[in-house]
Structure 1
């Protein structure tokens, strides 16, 4: 037989164990404990059973190893059934929460303003992660009022034992904050919205506020990471990409791989959590389905993890960096212009850079080679023309395209954002082992603007004769210009023998003088989060 706690009965009746009645409690005989109308699932093992006050009502509460169930006992003095009604009618519907959605449990005390410890015990407070619409998560509290200390201590003990069994949940995190992200709000966002939830979940943190570009990378290459269960980045896409690159680079170093020539990278053992604090937040939006700080934080606390594909970027056989997406041509020039005018506020800088780059719109003469994905079909059939040749044999089926292109995008993630809610590459998933190659051939400025505006739509984004899309595993892009590269008022010069071309890699400016080789590596890193509709199990 399950144990039945009677401490709350005395409390509600004003007996000696309860002392004063809690506000809103009505005097009267003890509540009647009623059997549950629905039997407990056979697989559940009952740990505790007792009477608590929830939302001002006496409830029969049952704690099993997987759920907390309660049924109000109403009324405390059952009234006679109405004429012609054979049912008593005072059983209310059972409610429950799954313990996998619980992330913290605390004793509830009444204390004076100056009192730090002790006070009058009022009951137990449960902190629960609640799933909302549109991929949003929200934290809410459930209070179980009971004035019996022994009774509450036993329940808290069992609840905390259950919480320790969720092994994916982090207990210690390394937190990296970029104070310069977007409107320089990252530090405020962390301390006001993220840190209180992490403390509530009793997660230890070690916080570093980065001081310069590349600081996070240097720190991750040198610090002791074995004491942490994960790394958290508070910043924009550039910050998140730098931290992901640092974690993966550290994994190669620990595995004894020469980081100048990474052919087959190893996975990083530490997951990465991203708190969106940038202007675009493409990576966070693609991961969570929404840009919402509490949602991102709760994914981390609950240990929701998703493996994600990562690309390697190399040139002339030498490794350059890890990344999730890249743009060459218009996307690279626009970022180069924005970096040149960092004194302009972020939102205005983005608009200024786009207008300036459109005003000087011109194509790039390139040769593009790509290896089609083995198990996927192109998500839009590209038209063949005289500029396209195919080189294939039994082991190597590379295809080649030559011509003049306004923009070239290579993306291993959907790249969702406020301007493109369906993603820049809507048919690419976070971990399907392929990349989207989107080629925009030379066309008029008005037609190119129509193409950019179409990203705000959820369909027919690539329904233009000058846009070609492919699903690929590898891409090689070789600019064929021999002259210096100019973006209007921003020139890129390397050594006297080099001409550097700007790339936009995850919001970071990368300058490369020659061919760039991009290859996708399936599920190379785990990120905290994931679209709720894609997550069948939160454990």
Structure 2
């Protein structure tokens, strides 16, 4: 038997199906039988690609591995004769196919004795495929039985070469954790990219893209970025997005003050959002993170006080254009035109949200900022002006539909400047009766919530959007399929 790979895979399929006396019919694996509820699929003996594709065409990803029903082997015992006049017709086995791009691994299948680590009786090859069900990705194993070492070795090498030829399956980095861990890793990746490129770390930085994609496995208290990328908090789905090479470019922001770069991030909150996070950090002794968060929200709501600030932003015109046109138009704006378009707001606000991603979560299936996407080149600026406490609580309870209030403003922007004017941020809740700061904040420092982590700033914060600055594994999710959860603290 020749060990050379045939010029056409169809010839090898025919040899597999009819040329080897040791080839046996393929049967469903245990995983297949479980997924089919115990109903076994028709036995098929080999693999056959769609059309007459050559081996060189495989990396294109359009060919399919097909499981086709072949002639049944002669039965050992004859079937009982049908009664005369019976018109029952045997159903034809259904042809099924697997996209090569849905295969993420292949290995030889062997039967080994207990305690045996190497060798064993060859049974065939097993391919591992990725199956999508809604937002959830599942893995499945399909067995192709053949006792020929030569046949299985040829197919194993050919499939591995094909899988290695697929793009978007390069070297990558993985972060296992919640929003806080992801924030640290993203900042480190982008900061290292700027250092390698010799960029000056100032407020006018034009950052370069991070060279390696980042995979995120959700495992934290809050997983907003993972929800926005995967549409579900499911570690297997996240892992399969990484394995399958589903890369999604994502916009990111730079946060700077006094022409000094502070941080890279995706979303931020000032006012209620920042004070809640600062108060939660003060009570880290509480046993449950959920309990600590609920307590911080209740306490901050009870001591709700507006923040006086000077807010300016650069809006994006032509909201009805597609984001590709929008980004192109914005890139062509001159600096003088940008200066003329700046808008200013001065007064008291309860909360300011600046979000470059939709921030999907179980409480807001469409996102806290449903008017933006992961890479549409826009920042959602949500301003909650001063109002009564009951009205503000209604706004919080509405989650994704929280914009139908007269005191709430929404804008699509690409730059924001926020300068606080208060003497004591967050009212007096973070201070003792003698003016002592319990949370570690000084009186001239204002808390910012950036991707779930506390950032302390004493002056104006400048936020700039940078389109598609980092590649993450996932897809652009419009809305979660899960039922909406509720916050018990409200």
Q: Is 1:525 paired with 2:470? A: yes
Q: Is 1:141 paired with 2:82? A: no
Normalising to structure 2: TM-score of the pair? 0.79
What is the CA deviation profile of residues 200-245 of structure 1, one whole-angstrom value per residue up to 9, with x for unaligned ones? Answer: xxxxxxxxxxxxxxxxxxxxxxxxxxxxx22211111011011101
What is the CA deviation profile of residues 89-113 of structure 1, one whole-angstrom value per residue up to 9, with x for unaligned ones? Answer: 4631111111101011011111111
Q: Give the corresponding residue for 1:423.
A: 367
Q: Is 1:116 paired with 2:117? A: yes
Q: Give the corresponding residue for 2:127.
A: 126
Match of 1:464, SS? coil
Q: Please, which of 181, 185, 199 is the counterpart of residue 243 of structure 1?
A: 185
1:157 Cα deviation after fit: 1.3
1: CA distance between counterparts of 2:452 and 2:425?
23
1:33 Cα deviation after fit: 8.7
Normalising to structure 1: TM-score of the pair? 0.72
Per the alignment, do residues 274 and 255 of structure 1 end up closer, same or farther by CA in structure 2, a change over 3 Å counting? same
2: CA distance between counterparts of 1:526 and 1:33?
41
Q: Please, which of 435, 444, 466 is the counterpart of residue 499 of structure 1?
A: 444
1: CA distance between counterparts of 2:356 and 2:46?
56
Q: Give the corresponding residue for 2:403.
A: 462
1: CA distance between counterparts of 2:94 and 2:446?
66
Q: Give the corresponding residue for 1:308.
A: 250
Per the alignment, do residues 487 and 89 of structure 1 end up closer, same or farther by CA in structure 2, a change over 3 Å counting? farther
2: CA distance between counterparts of 1:90 and 1:81?
16
Q: Please, which of 372, 376, 380 is the counterpart of residue 315 of structure 2?
A: 372
2: CA distance between counterparts of 1:256 and 1:81?
83
Q: Please, which of 68, 72, 84 is the counterpart of residue 71 of structure 1?
A: 68
Q: Please, which of 45, 49, 55 is the counterpart of residue 54 of structure 2?
A: 45
1:147 Cα deviation after fit: 1.6
Q: Please, which of 365, 368, 379 is the counterpart of residue 435 of structure 1?
A: 379
Per the alignment, do residues 528 and 286 of structure 1 end up closer, same or farther by CA in structure 2, a change over 3 Å counting? same
RMSD (Å), alpha carbons = 3.2
Match of 2:465, SS? strand
Q: Give the corresponding residue for 2:231.
A: 289
Per the alignment, do residues 504 and 487 of structure 1 end up closer, same or farther by CA in structure 2, a change over 3 Å counting? farther
Q: Is 1:444 paired with 2:388? A: yes
Q: Give the corresponding residue for 1:152.
A: 152
What is the CA deviation profile of residues 483-538 of structure 1, one whole-angstrom value per residue up to 9, with x for unaligned ones? Answer: 4665514536667xx7000000000100001111101010011111114789xxxx
1: CA distance between counterparts of 2:69 and 2:45?
10
What is the CA deviation profile of residues 417-444 of structure 1, one whole-angstrom value per residue up to 9, with x for unaligned ones? Answer: 1121210001100001110000111111
Per the alignment, do residues 11 and 305 of structure 1 end up closer, same or farther by CA in structure 2, a change over 3 Å counting? closer
2: CA distance between counterparts of 1:326 and 1:315?
15
Q: Give the corresponding residue for 1:96.
A: 97
* Matched positions, count: 422
1:165 Cα deviation after fit: 0.2
Per the alignment, do residues 301 and 33 of structure 1 end up closer, same or farther by CA in structure 2, a change over 3 Å counting? closer
Per the alignment, do residues 239 and 121 of structure 1 end up closer, same or farther by CA in structure 2, a change over 3 Å counting? same
Note if contact 1:412-1:435 (Cα within 8 Å) is conserved in structure 2.
Answer: yes
Match of 1:2, SS? helix
Q: What does 1:196-235 align with in structure 2 at a 5 Å threshold?
A: 229-235=171-177
Instruction: Return 5+ residue gaps in structure 2 as ranges.
Output: 1-9, 26-42, 322-334, 432-436, 480-490
Per the alignment, do residues 158 and 533 of structure 1 end up closer, same or farther by CA in structure 2, a change over 3 Å counting? farther
Instruction: Return 5+ residue gaps in structure 1 as ranges.
Output: 14-30, 49-63, 171-228, 379-391, 535-539
Match of 1:474, SS? strand
What is the CA deviation profile of residues 306-334 of structure 1, one whole-angstrom value per residue up to 9, with x for unaligned ones? Answer: 11100010112211111100000000010
Note if contact 1:107-1:156 (Cα within 8 Å) is conserved in structure 2.
Answer: yes
Q: What does 1:2-81 align with in structure 2 at a 5 Å threshold?
A: 2-3=11-12, 4-5=15-16, 6=18, 9-10=21-22, 12=24, 40-41=50-51, 44-45=53-54, 66-73=63-70, 75-77=72-74
More contact order relative to length (CA 8 Å, sep ≥ 6) = 2
Q: Is 1:280 paired with 2:222? A: yes
Note if contact 1:74-1:90 (Cα within 8 Å) is conserved in structure 2.
Answer: no
Q: Please, which of 263, 269, 279 is the counterpart of residue 211 of structure 2?
A: 269
Q: Please, which of 246, 264, 269 is the counterpart of residue 327 of structure 1?
A: 269
1:302 Cα deviation after fit: 1.2
